[in-house]
Chain A
Amino acid sequence: MSAETLALVLVVATALGFDFTNGFHDTGNAMAASIATGALKPRVAVAVSAVMNLLGAFLSVSVALTVTNAVVKTFDSHATSAQDSLTMSGDKLLAIVLAGLIGGIVWNMLTWLLGLPSSSSHALLGGLIGATIVSSGWEGVNWVGDGTKLDGVVGKILLPGVASPVVAVLVACLGTFAVFRIVAGVAVKQVNRGFRWGQVGTASLVSLAHGTNDAQKTMGVITLALIATGHWNSLTSIPLWVKVVCAVAIALGTYLGGWRIIRTLGKGLVDIEPRQGVAADASTAAVILASSHLGFALSTTHVASGSIVGAGLGKPGASVRWSTARRMVGAWLLTVPAAAIVGGTMWIVGHLFGLAVGSVVEVVVLLGVAGYLYLRSRRQDVGAHNVTDAWEIDQAAPNVPADLVRGGNR
């Protein structure tokens, strides 16, 4: 097996690993509210979400080869043949993509351990930014785009990252407020029954949109790597096996549940009830669909978290646990730089050993870190059995091993 083929195999495997973490990291975006309000039993909720993600992934017929272009120019969209479409050598592209993927996975695993919802796309793009800075210098990164459309780190990450939670908070807050005013005086039991149905519908819609968008990104990355190594020649289609394995990976990840994050979103920020759940989920669905319709690259996670906070603010006399929200926003700010540091370090490691050995070393390091984080998580298990337990009052993060929370769990 040549060095390039070995690196390609490792890139594909790592990309699927990222897709898998993308699944469990984001289950809560769609399902946390439904699980918290009891609209769906936890196991049923993750199963529904997994099926919707699988369907969504298979709905993606279009090819997302430009996914990495948001931060590093790898692909020339005007090219007419696959061979001419890459702006760098195949080896260089493989090295950057592998290091970037590892940066994304490590950040996803760490934030999962800490029960923090954070954007998987930002983590991947952050990893790619780090790998690009060390390999091609500061100028290699697409910081602001060319001014003709929203592009680059500023247009695809920074501005949407700031704007999306604000929009979601506003929409969900207003929706919750209106809903509470309208059903005031109606028997709570009757209201809740109706609203649980509404939640299941909107949550399924969010899962479907997630499968379509996010699985497409991994499919794009893998296809790009195949083009880079001369194993694929089409710019308008992707290999069927790529579609199948990506769809299955994100669905399996979703089914695994990411319970720690679901708990933070469903119980930690706001003690959510069905009326708020519908408003939050409808806000999430509407903001995601409206923004992707208008070409504004929002993160599902930021929107979902913002919607839940908004639903908390909109309920008369309700409260939001701001200590939890602060930890979450802190994680959002750190996502790109932290993933970039890991991605950059991994690229250097890979570079020291050369493409073949380097890629193997990188993946071994990744497996070691991931294994360690997994073992740490076992010390304080969060699963379907305890995901909806009452959140300890005053604690920012009871679902996190106490020694990992600064200043203890207070």
Chain B
Amino acid sequence: MSDAFGQDVRLALDALWKVLLASLILGAGLPAVFALAIRSLASGRVIIGRAVAGVLLLVVAYGVVSGLLFIVASGQGKDVSFTHVIPQITEKPA
């Protein structure tokens, strides 16, 4: 039993740093990008500000669409692969 307990802890730590890394990029990074977009909209330089904000909002939209796709895929028992930048629905590894 103590062996399986140790194994659980190891597995958890193994998953945890990946969860933390991904969450930091998406959960803290995307709001920061969103904030940059708002700042550039408010910068006073209308054309450049809007263009920069547009690009930044596209980055945020990419994150949101990826999240949406993942929810849809997981509802179907599938997974999403991000290895090719454009997320693709894949079979779940057994």
Interface centre among B22, B76, B78 (most CB of A within 10 A): B22
Query: Does B52 have its Cβ within 8 Å of any Cβ on chain A?
Result: no
Question: Can you list 10 A-B pairs, Cβ within 8 angstroms, ordered by A?
Answer: A59-B72, A144-B1, A147-B3, A154-B8, A183-B39, A194-B38, A205-B71, A275-B35, A290-B23, A296-B19
User: Which residues on A sit within 8 Å (CB–CB) of B37?
Assistant: 194
A179 touches B32 (CB 8 A): yes
| Chain B 5-33 interface mask (CB, 8 Å, partner A; 1/0) | 10111011001101110111111111110
Q: A167-B20, A194-B34, A290-B18 are in contact. List 11 more A-B contacts (CB 8 A).
A: A56-B75, A60-B76, A150-B12, A167-B19, A168-B23, A170-B24, A175-B29, A190-B41, A216-B75, A282-B27, A289-B26
CA–CA, A191 and B78, complex, Å: 38
B24 touches A171 (CB 8 A): yes
Query: Does A253 have its Cβ within 8 Å of any Cβ on chain B?
Result: no
B75 touches A212 (CB 8 A): yes
Minimum C-beta distance from B90 to chain A (A)? 12
B76 touches A62 (CB 8 A): yes
| Chain A 154-198 interface mask (CB, 8 Å, partner B; 1/0) | 110001100100011011101100110011001100110011001
Query: Does A334 have its Cβ within 8 Å of any Cβ on chain B?
Result: no
Query: Does A152 have its Cβ within 8 Å of any Cβ on chain B?
Result: yes
A152 touches B71 (CB 8 A): no
Q: Interface residue count for A (Cβ, 8 Å)?
A: 66
In the complex, which of the residues B5, B15, B72 contacts A154, with contact meaning CB atoms closer than 8 Å? Answer: B5
CA–CA, A289 and B27, complex, Å: 10
A56 touches B71 (CB 8 A): yes
A191 touches B67 (CB 8 A): no
B35 touches A295 (CB 8 A): no
Q: List A183-222 residues whose CB lies under 8 Å from chain B.
A: 183, 186-187, 190-191, 194-195, 198, 201-202, 205, 208-209, 212-213, 216
User: Which residues on A sit within 8 Å (CB–CB) of B4?
Assistant: 144-147, 152
Query: Does B64 have its Cβ within 8 Å of any Cβ on chain A?
Result: yes
Query: Does A294 have its Cβ within 8 Å of any Cβ on chain B?
Result: yes
Query: Does A287 have its Cβ within 8 Å of any Cβ on chain B?
Result: yes
A178 touches B31 (CB 8 A): yes
User: Which residues on A sit within 8 Å (CB–CB) of B80?
Assistant: 293
CA–CA, A179 and B35, complex, Å: 6
- Nearest residue (CB) in A for B61 is A201
A175 touches B64 (CB 8 A): no
Q: Interface residue count for B (Cβ, 8 Å)?
A: 46
Residues on B lying within 8 angstroms of A by beta carbon are 1, 3-5, 7-9, 11-12, 15-16, 18-20, 22-32, 34-39, 41-42, 64, 67-68, 70-72, 74-80
Minimum C-beta distance from A312 to chain B (A)? 15
Minimum C-beta distance from B13 to chain A (A)? 9
B41 touches A289 (CB 8 A): no
CA–CA, A241 and B59, complex, Å: 40
CA–CA, A244 and B76, complex, Å: 16
A289 touches B71 (CB 8 A): yes
Given contacts A191-B38, A293-B80, A294-B19, are A171 and B71 in contact (CB under 8 A)? Answer: no
A186 touches B42 (CB 8 A): yes
CA–CA, A79 and B47, complex, Å: 63
Which 9 pairs across A and B sit closest by C-beta, in order of nearness?
A62-B77, A286-B27, A59-B75, A175-B28, A286-B26, A147-B7, A290-B22, A283-B27, A182-B35
User: Which residues on A sit within 8 Å (CB–CB) of B34?
Assistant: 179, 194-195, 198, 278, 282
Query: Does A5 have its Cβ within 8 Å of any Cβ on chain B?
Result: no
A172 touches B77 (CB 8 A): no
A289 touches B70 (CB 8 A): yes
CA–CA, A365 and B19, complex, Å: 42
Query: Does A291 have its Cβ within 8 Å of any Cβ on chain B?
Result: yes
User: Which residues on B sit within 8 Å (CB–CB) of A87?
Assistant: none
B23 touches A286 (CB 8 A): yes
Interface centre among B26, B27, B35, B78 (most CB of A within 10 A): B27
In the complex, which of the residues A147, A186, A282 contacts B31, with contact meaning CB atoms closer than 8 Å? Answer: A282
Minimum C-beta distance from B2 to chain A (A)? 9
Q: List A266-293 residues whose CB lies under 8 Å from chain B.
A: 275, 278-279, 282-287, 289-293
User: Which residues on A sit within 8 Å (CB–CB) of B24?
Assistant: 170-171, 174
Query: Does A378 have its Cβ within 8 Å of any Cβ on chain B?
Result: no
B31 touches A155 (CB 8 A): no
A152 touches B8 (CB 8 A): yes
B26 touches A290 (CB 8 A): yes
CA–CA, A286 and B34, complex, Å: 15
Given contacts A198-B34, A296-B15, are A171 and B28 in contact (CB under 8 A)? Answer: yes
